Amino acid sequence: MITRTIKLLDVVALIVDLPQYNLWRGQVGTVVETLANGAAFEVEFSDRHGRTYESLGLRPEQIMVLRFDPVPLNR
């Protein structure tokens, strides 16, 4: 499994359902703040027009970083 440190402005996807926030696995957000020295991250969820509809702190095990380029084999 590929692991990577989550950092500011990473595009991430939820890997858990959060029905209390009306957020579901697969929804995409952007990391806008690192919290508790990397133990959590503030993730902003926006619609197609760029309007934020939810922003909340999430633990690394609740999100995955999306990659737009191939991952090098010799990391």
- Structural domains in the chain, CATH included, are 11-65 (2.30.30)
- At 1-52, the pLDDT tens digits run 455 689 999 999 999 999 999 999 999 999 999 999 999 999 999 999 999 9
- The more confident residue out of 70 and 33 is 33
Q: Which residues pair with 29 in a beta bridge?
A: 12
pTM: 0.86
Instruction: Walk across the sheet containing 63-65 and list its strands.
Output: 52-58, 40-46, 28-35, 11-14, 63-65
Classify strands 52-58 and 40-46 as parallel, antiparallel or unpaired: antiparallel
Q: Which of 61, 18, 15 is nearest to 38 (CA)?
A: 61
Please report how many Cα atoms fall inside a 13 Å half-sphere around the Cα of residue 56, on the Cβ side: 13
